[in-house]
Amino acid sequence: MNNFVLLPIIIPFFFGMVLMFGQKSLRFQRGGAMLGLILAFASAVSLLFKVKEDGVQKLTFGGWPEPFGITMVSDMVSALLVTTTLLLAIFIVWYSFNSIGTAREQFYYYPAIMMIITGVNGAFTTGDIFNMFVFFEVLLMASYVLIVLGGTRAQLAGSIKYILINVISSALFVIAIAYLYAVIGSLNMADISVKIAEINQPAIITVIAVLFLMVFGLKAAIFPLYFWLPTSYAAAPPPVLALFGALLTKVGVYAIMRTYTLFFIHDTAYTHELLLWLSVFTILAGCIGALAYFDVKQIIIYNIVIAVGVILFGVAQMNETGLQGAMFYLIHDMIIKAALFMLVGIIVYKTGTTNLRKMGGLMKSSPTLGWFYLIAAFGLAGIPPLSGFVGKLLIAKGGFEAGNMWSSLFVLATSLLVLLSVIRIFIYAFWGEEKPVQPILTKAETTKLFIPTAIVILISIAYGVGAEYLTPFMSDAGKLLADPSIYVDAVLKGE
């Protein structure tokens, strides 16, 4: 019994509701959103340290006994993700102040952000598979609002695709849960894990595992199911894109990670082999997309797809090293994607175009932006002192340990393509001749946008350099994922 677990979910929810009043007052909207996120972040950090000290924290609603009530479980994996989510949300909201425009700010922009954070944190924390579906819907509904808010032509076209694909995947999610419930008769995730172990995963459970992979794969954009992501995401304005790129697909990745380490672990020769191949193809497809485009938004969007592949490759190894690497890389990727989308947003606001061929010579007018972009690009590719290095190293090491030599080498080799794709932005936009531009925002306004962006990049540097301090947290998370009995015991036997 520990209500503390709920604070990172309840606080944004409460502020989201309060912000529905005072729609026109910008000071109230901005101040309320910021206050809510900072309070929630503070509670998430203290929760993180509590989990580190006392192990898995859980709370069952209404004090019902364990498999019968809805349990919220905060283990190291979820506590780390919740903390990162709130940290990034603070900077993205700060970035929104000067970029999203007052018309949107006065039309429930901040309440929608708070609801999306509620949904994301809830999905990370829940210990009940149907409750996870509900939190998915909470975050999806809020993301529909954010993607369409403003009502430009591109946004409407993008949002139709986005909503359609998510409605279909949500329906599949309900069907998958129905199948699982019909076989197992329980919705509590720890209980499901125990019962699948008892019946030793018959073929029908493997079928459900693949169905879950399809559902979460649609949300996370894995190889054959990523087709909706580039067009839908490109429609969103930069701060919304940063929020989506940093958080939304990662919820799908987390769900795959959770179900494939807690439920479906008795027929890994089939399920995890499938996951391995799909993740390899995801990386390949992402690389092709990232190199094919001359559009800055699309390049970074395809880099989301690549990162999803890399993380799932780590999950597919099913050993502690690989899972720890996946955790390291997941958090890194959330931070760096937020940073890159914020940077790309600034570039777009400065030049008035997303086409790389129409840009050039930005290094002369804004050298700081250029150097920070270069650091973020190196961080993304995983150049040693920076943030992407440790995660990818551990993932590759896990791959070698599991005997997947060639695919691990492939993952390492694709880092070069990732680097190439983001360096192309640097070469085209920052080097060369200065070209005539029609800036969307003035220089003073883009400078204001640069402050939160720079801080996020500094955080990513600190994440890479300070990996040693994070390792205890990450190894706890890796242990927990590799050994489901820790989770199950904490939920069903603790207290």
Partner 1 sequence: MKTNDVIIQFTAKIVFFIIFFFAIHIFLAGHYTPGGGFVGGLLASSAIVLLVLAFDITTVRTIIPVTYTTLTAVGLIIALATASFPMLKGDPFFTHYFDYFTLPLIGKTSLHTAMLFDTGVFLVVVGVTMTIIQTIGEDE
Using CB under 8 A as the criterion, which residues of the chain lie in contact with partner 1 when the complex forms?
Answer: 1, 3, 6, 10, 13-14, 17-18, 20-21, 23, 59-63
Q: Nearest approach, Cβ of 152 to partner 1 (angstroms)?
A: 18
Our CB check for partner 1 shows the closer of 64 and 431 to be: 64
C-alpha 435/C-alpha 431 separation (Å) is 11
The amino acid occupying position 24 is K
Q: Nearest approach, Cβ of 332 to partner 1 (angstroms)?
A: 32
Location of structure tokens 């944190």: 121
C-alpha 153/C-alpha 416 separation (Å) is 36
Our CB check for partner 1 shows the closer of 60 and 414 to be: 60
Our CB check for partner 1 shows the closer of 59 and 146 to be: 59
Would you say 279 and 313 are in contact if contact means Cβ atoms under 8 Å apart? yes
* Cα–Cα–Cα angle for 245, 251, 256, rounded to 5 degrees: 125
C-alpha 13/C-alpha 7 separation (Å) is 10
Q: Nearest approach, Cβ of 124 to partner 1 (angstroms)?
A: 17
Q: Nearest approach, Cβ of 115 to partner 1 (angstroms)?
A: 10
Phi, psi (degrees; rounded to nearest 5) at 433: -75, 145
The CA R_g of the chain, rounded to the nearest whole Å, is: 21
Our CB check for partner 1 shows the closer of 4 and 97 to be: 4
Our CB check for partner 1 shows the closer of 188 and 414 to be: 188
Q: Nearest approach, Cβ of 273 to partner 1 (angstroms)?
A: 41
| Residue 368 vs residues 300, 331, 352: alpha-carbon distances, Å | 20, 25, 19
Our CB check for partner 1 shows the closer of 60 and 354 to be: 60
Would you say 8 and 47 are in contact if contact means Cβ atoms under 8 Å apart? yes
CB burial class (10 A; 0-12, 13-18, 19+) of residue 64? exposed
3-state secondary structure of 58: strand
Q: Nearest approach, Cβ of 63 to partner 1 (angstroms)?
A: 5
Our CB check for partner 1 shows the closer of 63 and 436 to be: 63
Q: Nearest approach, Cβ of 34 to partner 1 (angstroms)?
A: 19
